[in-house]
Amino acid sequence: AQSVTQLGSHVSVSEGALVLLRCNYSSSVPPYLFWYVQYPNQGLQLLLKYTTGATLVKGINGFEAEFKKSETSFHLTKPSAHMSDAAEYFCAVTPGDSGGYQKVTFGTGTKLQVIP
Amino acid sequence: EAEVAQSPRYKITEKSQAVAFWCDPISGHATLYWYRQILGQGPELLVQFQDESVVDDSQLPKDRFSAERLKGVDSTLKIQPAELGDSAMYLCASSHRGHSMNTEAFFGQGTRLTVV
């Protein structure tokens, strides 16, 4: 079984401030982890993903996330928020490379508000 | 740039009526997913296809929902009869053959269903 917990359904930051969106996961096997962004009335777009290897992964739009196995976390950060970052962000987990079918579980999402 | 196409973008229907959504995945993508996203929540997998075969429909309310992907390309999701609680965004996604989410899943823009 696997699950994802996103702490904080709403996060507000000032433009230019650090963005930190929290994600903790539970997985019985080594996981693959993802962050997606969703703009209003749009589908989801992949920001970044961790599968194996380097635990600090960089994604699009200046975002990055660090896989911390000891903390079962995969928090999303961006050094300086931009107005265009205002959106909803979803963390997702799937069992790692165990072959065959893999189910993805999404968190409940965090809405990011950027204040001018 | 290749995209996942969904239609319609918006649908309003009366309860007890039938409604259908269509999805055309990115060419060559063997895996197709239908997700339901209720307002304020993360996407929930309804059904996943590998080519024309269903690999997971454990969360699909089979008394009223059906999905098909007859030739392993485009897919249709049907609800009959629609209920008020079915109001949600219905997202289609696709990814390459093989591990279901090891490679990126590409999402369509979704169909927003309102049942009145």
- For residue A113, give both structure tokens: 């508000």
Count of pairs with CB atoms under 8 A, one residue in A, one in B: 64
Per-residue pLDDT, averaged over B46-59, amounts to: 92
* C-beta separation of A19 from A77 below 8 A: yes
Q: Which of B101, B108, B109 sits opposite A104 (nearest CB)?
A: B101
* C-beta separation of A7 from A24 below 8 A: yes
| Per-residue pLDDT at B98 | 47
Higher pLDDT among residues B5 and A28, named by residue:
B5
CA–CA distance, B19 with B92 (Å, rounded to integer): 16
| Per-residue pLDDT at A94 | 84
Residue contact B45–A104, C-beta within 8 A: yes
Higher pLDDT among residues B90 and B102, named by residue:
B90
pLDDT tops 60 at residue B35: yes
Question: Per-residue DSSP letters for B10-65?
Answer: EEEE-TT--EEEEEE--TT--EEEEEEE-TTS--EEEEEEETTEEEE-TTS-TTTE
Residue contact A46–B104, C-beta within 8 A: yes
* C-beta separation of A92 from A106 below 8 A: yes
Residues of A with CB under 8 A from a CB of B: 4, 9, 32, 34, 36, 41-46, 49, 51, 90, 92, 94, 97, 99, 101-104, 106-109
Q: Tokens 């997700």 identify what position? A: B35
